[in-house]
Amino acid sequence: MRAKYVMSEVFLGLWRNISMTVAMIITMAVSLTMLGAGLLLYNQVDVIEEYYQTNLEVVVYLDRDIDQATTDQLQADLEASGYAEQVVFESKDKAYERFKDTFEESEDLVNSVDAEVLPAAFRIKMKDINDAPKLIADFQEREGVYQVTNQRDILQQVFDILGGAQRLTLIVALVQGVAALMLVANTIQVAAYSRRREVAIMKLVGAPNWFVQAPFVLEAVFAGVIGAIFAFATLIAAKFLVIDGQFKDLFSLMPPISMQSILLLLPILTGISALISAVTAWITLRFNIKV
């Protein structure tokens, strides 16, 4: 009976103030979508790091006109340096093969590049990737070496971009979150005001505080849960339409965002949203409904 009463009050309250309810849910959904995206990016950085950790190489690109003796000497020195676990020579032809593989879908790009342009290289698997700067320092200035690159530095740029995107989503989530909570507080205030007669009567009859407050708190929680579900749906849609759809090529460079980690967001977002909404509503009520 009491539960039924409370639920009907909740829906009535939300319905009576429908425009505010909708605004509240939209703001919450945007905030939570951003929060979800931020969490996914955070997770993605970990995944990428793990994915590449074992595959990272230092690549020593060779001058185009290098002779065989210098090449052999370089290889011998690299192997003797103590940093390398494995040194693999990649000829110009092989480099071109690899280039064609990587960009096989972009025929124009492949056609525009002359096989001669790509340099031969040593691909070095390091014993410890942290020693890469030392190896680079030792070999950068050697005769016949065109350039030495540490793939980790390239990866670092990817991380920087992801980190920036993550910060951006979290800032938007925070700003929208604050707006959402202000809307919650406002909605609760309006609801408490429009039901002040009922509230006064309930308190007169000696209704316990939780009984008076429950419909209002549940209103906020309900809006929070709906907001979280919308946010979740948006993230799912984003995965299928953007990441797996339109921008597939872009995202294929990194490991895919797994469905599992998105599904995990549903309970997380719902929980966070419901909890924060409830606390906000409860605090608002403490100031608005005095015993």
Partner 1 sequence: MTYGSETTEYATLVLEPPDRLRNSADRLRLVIQLEGVTKHYPRSNRPSVEDMNVFIDKGEFVFFIGPTGAGKSTIIKLLLREEIPDKGKITVGDTDVTRLRRWKTPAYRRSIGCVFQDFRLLPNRTAAENVAFALEVIGKPKSVARRVVPEVLELVGLGGKEHRYPHELSGGEQQRVAVARAFVNRPLLLLADEPTGNLDPDTSIEIMRLLDRISRTGTTILMVTHDSNIVNQMRRRVIEIENGQIVRDQARGVYG
Q: Which residues bind partner 1 (CB under 8 A)?
A: 1-2, 5, 197-198, 200-209, 211, 291
Using DSSP, state whether 256 is helix, strand or coil. Answer: coil
User: Cβ of residue 11: shortest distance to partner 1, in angstroms?
Assistant: 14
User: Cβ of residue 210: shortest distance to partner 1, in angstroms?
Assistant: 9
- Which stretches within 113-150 are classed as H helix? 132-139
Roughly what angle, to the nearest 10 degrees, separates helices 151-194 and 209-238? Answer: 140
Of 114 and 197, CB closest to partner 1: 197
Of 108 and 197, CB closest to partner 1: 197
Of 11 and 103, CB closest to partner 1: 11
User: Cβ of residue 288: shortest distance to partner 1, in angstroms?
Assistant: 15
CB 228 within 8 A of CB 28: yes
Of 69 and 204, CB closest to partner 1: 204
User: Cβ of residue 287: shortest distance to partner 1, in angstroms?
Assistant: 14
- Sheet of 121-126: strand order equals 84-90, 121-126, 57-62, 145-150
User: Cβ of residue 152: shortest distance to partner 1, in angstroms?
Assistant: 60
How many angstroms separate the CA atoms of 239 and 256, rounded?
Answer: 10
User: Cβ of residue 198: shortest distance to partner 1, in angstroms?
Assistant: 6
CB 146 within 8 A of CB 61: yes
Of 125 and 203, CB closest to partner 1: 203
Of 198 and 244, CB closest to partner 1: 198
The angle at the Cα of 280, spanning 286 to 232, to the nearest 5 degrees, equals 155
Of 208 and 255, CB closest to partner 1: 208
Of 45, 43, 50, which Cα lies nearest the Cα of 259? 43
Q: Return the bridge partners of 60, or none.
A: 122, 148
Give the β-pairing of 84-90 and 145-150.
unpaired
User: Cβ of residue 205: shortest distance to partner 1, in angstroms?
Assistant: 5
User: Cβ of residue 212: shortest distance to partner 1, in angstroms?
Assistant: 8
| Helix, strand, coil percent values for the chain (each to nearest 5) | 75, 10, 15
DSSP, res 113 = S
How many angstroms separate the CA atoms of 175 and 53, rounded?
Answer: 35
Of 140 and 194, CB closest to partner 1: 194
- Identity of the residue numbered 150: N
| Residue 34: both structure tokens together | 């951003």
The angle at the Cα of 277, spanning 271 to 282, to the nearest 5 degrees, equals 125
